[in-house]
Structure 1
Amino acid sequence: MLALATAINDEILKSEKDAITLKNILDKKKFKVKKLKIRKGEKAIKRYGILGLNGVIEIKGKHKKCR
């Protein structure tokens, strides 16, 4: 089974390092997710090119302010 690519605020994560950084941010609850969407097929390819071939998980949100 092939993995889906991940895009944060319309910027696709291209490396393993980006994915690890994302995991740390989400685990520490520093990022507020407003919208989560999965794009597959033709729509993903039109928006992200060849990187969207297997599908893309789109996450929209913003960083929480530190106090």
Structure 2
Amino acid sequence: MTDEIYPDPTCECRALLAEGQDRCHKCRARDRWVKKQAAKRRDGRRRGETRRPPRTSRRAAMAGVTWT
């Protein structure tokens, strides 16, 4: 019989783990990368301001808008 009663701990990618680990270095790095990419996509959205031509001010007074 070749089945072990207590098999060595393995990661989801089948890498062997040291004692106390739940995922290998490669899988942890991939998870960090996925989180970072999701944050970049979320933060890359336009602000809730009106569209403006490039190279002009974001402030309304400098753009020539008056509220009277």
What TM-score, normalized to structure 1?
0.22
Question: Rg bigger for which structure?
Answer: 2
> Which structure has more strand as a fraction of its residues?
1
